[in-house]
Structure 1
Amino acid sequence: MIVEVAVVFLGILWAVTLFLFLAHTKRQRKLDAARDEAAALRDQRIKELARRLDNYQNGTVRMGEALHELRATVAPLPDKLTALEQRDPSTLSFAQAARLVGMGASIDELTQSCGLTQAEAQLMTKLHGNTPS
């Protein structure tokens, strides 16, 4: 009789152990599936971020190239401007007229010394803050 009780007890213990093992295995599979799904989403996000970074870097490179071209275009402009201002020494430039206005030159003086029209002289006077005299 003890042997029969022990066999029944061991059978029940085996059934409970089998049930717990199967439940654990099922739960482990669910956890593995969730982990795999999270890993797939993470990998997809990493690929998207890498693509965006590449686009950003390519845009930055193109912007740098455009900036380099602009610098090459703009670099000689001050020399060209100076050459244009000095090309005809008999006429004063607008920059020189602005200096004269700053020193208090009248509209008539600007028209005579700089070769400006009456309207240009008035505009220069208004731009540089003096009232016409």
Structure 2
Amino acid sequence: MIFEVAVLFLALLWAVSLWLFLNYSKRQRQVLAEQAVGDALRDQRIKDLAKRLDDYQNVTVRMGDTLHELRSVVAPLPDKLLQLEQRDPNDVTFSQAAKLVGMGASVEELTQTCGLTQAEAQLMSKLHRAQ
């Protein structure tokens, strides 16, 4: 009788152990599956961030190139500004008067804005309106 009880107890202990082991294995598979999903999401996020970083780097390089081009355009401007500041205000360029005539300026406007004489303003008006 004791032997039968011991065998029955061991069989019950074995069944409970088997059940616990199977449940543990099932939980481990679930944890691994969740971890795999998390890893996949993390990997996708890393790829997205790497792409964004590449985009930012490309934009930065293009911006640097543009700034370099702008620097080469702007570099001579101080010299040109100095030349304009040193220019005699009484010295009238006839090209400015020609532009004004092209924009429809009258003889009176040419004499006032450019400082031309009446005869010079009439000549500029006739020359550039005829073209």
Q: TM-score, normalised by structure 1?
A: 0.65
- Secondary structure of 2:91 counterpart: coil
Instruction: Report the residue type matching 2:25 in the other structure.
Output: T
2:98 corresponds in structure 1 to none
1:48 corresponds in structure 2 to 48
Question: In the TM superposition, what are the counterparts of 1:98-109 in structure 2 within 5 Å?
Answer: none
Matched, 1:75 2:75: yes
1:129 corresponds in structure 2 to none
Matched, 1:15 2:15: yes
1:57 corresponds in structure 2 to 57
The structural deviation recorded for 1:66 is: 0.2
Q: CA separation in 2, counterparts of 1:82 and 1:26?
A: 83
Identical counterparts, % of pairs: 67
- Secondary structure of 1:58 counterpart: helix
The structural deviation recorded for 1:88 is: 5.5
Q: CA RMSD in A?
A: 2.5
Instruction: Report the residue type matching 1:8 in the other structure.
Output: L
2:123 corresponds in structure 1 to none
2:3 corresponds in structure 1 to 3
Tell me whether 79-88 or 25-34 shows the greater mean CA deviation: 79-88
The structural deviation recorded for 1:77 is: 1.5
Instruction: Report the residue type matching 2:21 in the other structure.
Output: F
The structural deviation recorded for 1:80 is: 2.1
Q: TM-score, normalised by structure 2?
A: 0.66
> How many residues matched?
99
The structural deviation recorded for 1:83 is: 2.9
- Structure 2: unaligned runs, 5 residues or longer: 93-111, 117-131
Task: Render the CA deviation track for 1:67-115: whole Å, top value 9, x for unaligned.
Answer: 11101111101212333454657428xxxxxxxxxxxxxxxxxx6xx83
Q: CA separation in 1, counterparts of 2:69 and 2:47?
A: 33
The structural deviation recorded for 1:47 is: 0.7
